[in-house]
Amino acid sequence: MLLRIASHPSTQRLIVNRPGHHLVNIIQRRILHRIPDYKKLPNLPKHTVLKDGTNVLVDSATEKQIGDIYTQFHGAMHRGQGYGHDDFLSLDHFKEKHSRGQIFSLVDQDADRLIGGITIYPSRLSRASNPVLAGSNFIVTQEYRGRGCIKLLNRLYSELADEIGYEGCLGEIHVNNAPVIKACRDNPIWELIERLPKTSYVKDYGWIDSVIVYCDLTNKSNTH
């Protein structure tokens, strides 16, 4: 009989009970893959420039910015843009969803205005208790849409996930979210893997399928 008796994040303990021998062997096996350090912060802040010359500062979101970023996600959810009707029900729900993840802000450095936010967290599409693949949510405020932010967010997703220690990114995009699907199609580090049926219920639309996209961060040509 084989029993798993402990679930410490970095070790598995197996007891092998051989009937007749009354022998108990305890085998400790270290899991060999690296486990992402969810609290680890990459080199921040990062400075980057949009194609229209806007200076962008990417940093760990402050408590105030987390509230503002949540408001943006909540609004998108209500407009049926990219998220299901129950994705971000309250600020507490938003924080809980990212409790093992991280929330980053994008700020227009010159105007001192919020451009958007991106979160990196352990993928929900995994059976492991410590997934090595990162999921992400991201948003651009209405004011800053149409200025090429999607390419930046697409790059930040893989870059931040790599710096935190994930081995890959596993993203989920509604099939009607053309800008995000296009950004992945245009960037060779991303593979469009599969279509999952009825992943979200979107306001004024109904059930929608998702395209699953993957970026392998153990392939060094995919990292920055």
Ligand X SMILES: CC(C)(COP(=O)(O)OP(=O)(O)OC[C@H]1O[C@@H](n2cnc3c(N)ncnc32)[C@H](O)[C@@H]1OP(=O)(O)O)[C@@H](O)C(=O)NCCC(=O)NCCS
User: Which residues are near ligand X by CB under 6 A?
Assistant: 76, 81-82, 138-140, 145-151, 153, 173, 177-180, 182
Nearest residue relative to ligand X (C-beta): 82
CB of 4 to ligand X, least distance (A): 35
**Distance of closest approach, residue 13 Cβ to ligand X, in angstroms:** 39
Return the axis-axis angle of helices 149-164 and 178-186, rounded to nearest 10°: 60
Pick 131 or 135: Cβ nearer ligand X: 135
State in angstroms the smallest separation of the CB of 56 from ligand X.
12
Shortest spacing between CB 155 and ligand X, in angstroms: 12
Q: How far is the CB of 77 from ligand X (least distance, A)?
A: 9
Q: Which is nearer to ligand X, 18 or 78 (CB)?
A: 78
Put residue 80 in one of left, alpha, beta given phi > 0 → left and psi -120 to 50 → alpha: left
**Smallest gap from residue 75 Cβ to ligand X (A):** 9
**Closer by beta carbon to ligand X, 73 or else 166:** 73
> Closer CB to ligand X, residue 120 or residue 173?
173
The residue type found at 215 is C
Q: Closer to ligand X at the Cβ: 106 or 164?
A: 106
Nearer to ligand X, 20 or 53 (CB): 53
Question: In the sheet that 55-60 helps form, which strands lie side by side, from edge to edge?
Answer: 46-49, 55-60, 102-108, 113-122, 133-140, 168-174, 206-216, 191-202
Which residue shows structure tokens 């270290």? Answer: 30
